[in-house]
Chains A and B, each alone.
Chain A
Amino acid sequence: MEAVGRPGPDWGHWGYNMATLPAAFHKRTGAGSLGNVLSWVKGNPLRSFEGKAAGYRRVEKALLVIGLTLREMDRVLFTDGDDARKLPDYINKSLLTLVDLDKAMEGCNDLLQEVGLNKSLPEPEDGSNTIAEPSASRYVRF
């Protein structure tokens, strides 16, 4: 058997049983951290294997890891008030910043480029030819 890409975060599977990512995600380095995710994405988890494009399961898993990462960062950066009080302490005290979110989205875009989808990615400020994204504008510019 041959591994494709770099080791992914230990929480990146469908059996993960928490609504939030573990405290390890909010550390700068280490297994399961955002750094681990970015490194994993950089290794292109969707690369071809033996001439075959990534299959459904692999795409699904990659999306799970990236999606959970983005959701967690959204919580860290954009949740406040009562909603924030419901979150675990380590999320409220997380050191992650908009710069980290920017890196995560860059990784996402790099992956799109790797799989050849980025060409047709709609221009966000244009607003046309894109799916409805009522709150996505906050992601666009910093």
Chain B
Amino acid sequence: MWKDWAEGMCRPHYPVTARMVTDQIHLEFDSDDETDGGDDNGEAEKPEEALVLAFRDDGYPLLPAIDSNTPLEMLKRVLRVYVREVRSKCSSSGRCASLTILISEFQKLSGRIPWAAIRANNDAHIVKKCQRTKYTLDDPSRMTHQAVLRFLNHWYSRQGDKKVWPLKFLKPERNAVAAVEPESARGRRDSTVNGGEPQEEDIDDKGSDIEAHEDGEIEVDGGDNDNVSQQIPVEQVTGMGDKGGQEKVAEIGEVPTIPAQVDPIQRTRFLKSLSNYGGYQKLIGLLDTADVSDHDWLIMACY
């Protein structure tokens, strides 16, 4: 199903109902398993990857409408797949080529979703207005029904209003790449990627506003001071080998200097911090496309 994106194919546009998504899920199951009778209630355990979201014209994934009657399992799968789709979108379109170097954890696009990093720092990964004050975005398997529901409902309603996308890697290039890209190159990229149209984010992040919600949660938007580049300075995430880079890395957590002390989720950051030699940094880009499988364990054991 990922191939469709790469070939520029789009699925039905929103508004998307839960029913439509359910249909798509079964469609996908059917294609995977011809023996399936197609009975909604007769579905056995299906692989999570089979869940398919709808997409906007430009390929961005869209959340389906959900409500409190939607089963928890489905909610969690929607959340998980949505995050994965967004990462995949960034990867398949090639839009974020430079960001794969700049944003360490999110840009292991074909690898695991860095839930631990997300849990540890929602601010770094979710647009402020898309956070929930009472809940933390985490691995869906660790979230309560209420928490998942709150996030999805909130993001869905914003999606309908064409507001800023909830996850920062959806539209990071306008801000983060700007810091390292020449003006001319930025202009070219913007015109090719967005067709010269203003981005939704532009609509949303002008000025500050405060939103109160039925559930008592309050959103405070920092307005123009609340953009991605200010929340995640480029230097903060690159973790370059120079001292300046290391100091900034410290702002979001010190990267150890000893390999044995490096937490698995910090490995990419640690590797980036080892040397700022361009060829080496380029090699680190391989992590974004490397296959995460057990295949290499056999080989690793040999050398």
Quick check: A14 and B282 within 8 Å, CB to CB? no
Which one of A8, A67, A115 contacts B303 once the chains associate, using CB atoms below 8 Å?
A: A8
Contact with A along B259-303 (1 / 0, CB 8 A): 111100001000100111111111111110011110111111111
Q: Please, how many residues of chain B have a CB less than 8 angstroms from a CB on the other chain?
A: 50
Quick check: B275 and A71 within 8 Å, CB to CB? yes
* Identity of the chain B residue whose Cβ is nearest the Cβ of A130 in the assembled complex: B278
* Identity of the chain A residue whose Cβ is nearest the Cβ of B97 in the assembled complex: A120
Of the listed stretches A27-35, A57-65, A90-98, chain B binds A57-65
Quick check: B271 and A121 within 8 Å, CB to CB? no
If A1-B298, A1-B301, A74-B275 touch, does A63 touch B259 (CB 8 Å cutoff)? no
CB of A17, distance to nearest CB on chain B (Å)? 4
8 additional A-B pairs beyond A45-B303, A63-B280, A74-B275, beta carbons within 8 Å, are A14-B260, A17-B261, A52-B291, A56-B287, A56-B296, A124-B278, A129-B185, A139-B278
Complex contacts, B274 vs chain A, CB 8 Å: 67-68, 70-71
- Asked if B71 is at the interface (CB within 8 A of a chain A CB), the reply is no
**Count of CB-CB pairs between chains A and B under 8 Å:** 158
| Bound Cα distance from A58 to B260, whole angstroms | 17
If A1-B301, A3-B302, A16-B260 touch, does A135 touch B242 (CB 8 Å cutoff)? yes
| Bound Cα distance from A116 to B241, whole angstroms | 25
Complex contacts, B287 vs chain A, CB 8 Å: 56, 59-60, 63
| Bound Cα distance from A131 to B176, whole angstroms | 11
* Identity of the chain B residue whose Cβ is nearest the Cβ of A14 in the assembled complex: B259
If A16-B260, A55-B293, A117-B286 touch, does A122 touch B299 (CB 8 Å cutoff)? no
Quick check: A131 and B259 within 8 Å, CB to CB? no
Complex contacts, B140 vs chain A, CB 8 Å: none
- Asked if B240 is at the interface (CB within 8 A of a chain A CB), the reply is yes
CB of A135, distance to nearest CB on chain B (Å)? 5
Give me 29 A-to-B residue pairs in the complex whose CB atoms sit less than 8 angstroms apart, sorted by A's number: A3-B303, A7-B303, A14-B267, A15-B259, A17-B260, A18-B258, A56-B292, A58-B290, A60-B267, A60-B287, A61-B300, A62-B283, A63-B286, A64-B259, A64-B271, A66-B283, A67-B275, A70-B280, A71-B241, A71-B274, A108-B279, A111-B283, A117-B282, A117-B283, A118-B282, A129-B185, A131-B102, A133-B276, A135-B276
